[in-house]
Amino acid sequence: MDSNEQEFNVREALERQEKMLAQALRENASFQHQVRQGMLRDLEILKEQQRGEQFTPLLKEISAVCVEYRSILNEEAIPENARRTLHLLFDQLEDILADYGAELFISQIGEARNPLLTKVINTIANGDESKHNTIARSRRAGVVRNGHPLYREFVDVFVYNEELNSPKNEE
């Protein structure tokens, strides 16, 4: 074998080694990226668990029961002993919500509407621009946890209508 042929074989072997090294480096970088992504995903899950987010679906269901069915306490057909028992049941459900940082809330008439926590059921035309998008009536309580709604409050809001403020309406 002459020196040119040996040099060619060595060069060819080096090129194969370089290609294999480049492939190994790409695969290593890809593997590192996958591992990093998996670790970040696991870390986010652990953070959610530490904040108690795994309980959110259950708390939403408890919120729905509290808000939707508490109104049966107002029905006259319920015997007084059953009413007391139901009252205790709803109090216990509210205590569970409170234990996990959730609370029932009811917007006050005239306060600004919080779009994140409330759902508009009805609008009431009003000639006073300062009352625009303020609470006219709370129809159903809401439940909030860490500033996020578990169960949105149903409200009626005032909506400014310039025609109601015009001079011809004042006559």
Give the pLDDT of residue 169.
47
In which band, very low, low, confident or very high, does the pLDDT at 171 lie, cut at 50, 70 and 90?
Answer: very low
Domain range summary for the chain, segments of one domain joined by +? 1-51, 53-170
pLDDT at 7 over 90: no
Query: d(Cα 8, Cα 133) in Å, to the nearest integer?
Result: 82
Give the pLDDT of residue 170.
47
pLDDT at 167 over 60: no
Beta bridge partners of 124: 158
Give the pLDDT of residue 1.
65
pLDDT at 53 over 70: yes
Element (H, E) at 11: helix 3-51
| Architecture, CATH, for domain 53-170 | Roll (2.30)
Cβ atoms of residues 113 and 139 within 8 Å? no
For residue 60, what are its two tokens? 């939403």
In which band, very low, low, confident or very high, does the pLDDT at 166 lie, cut at 50, 70 and 90?
Answer: low
- Rg over CA atoms, the chain: 32
The predicted model scores a pTM of 0.64
Torsion angle defined by CA atoms of residues 48, 53, 57 and 58, in that order, rounded to the nearest 10 degrees: 130
The tens digit of pLDDT for each residue in 79-138 reads 999 999 999 999 999 999 999 999 999 999 999 999 999 999 999 998 888 899 999 999
Give the pLDDT of residue 128.
85
pLDDT at 46 over 80: yes
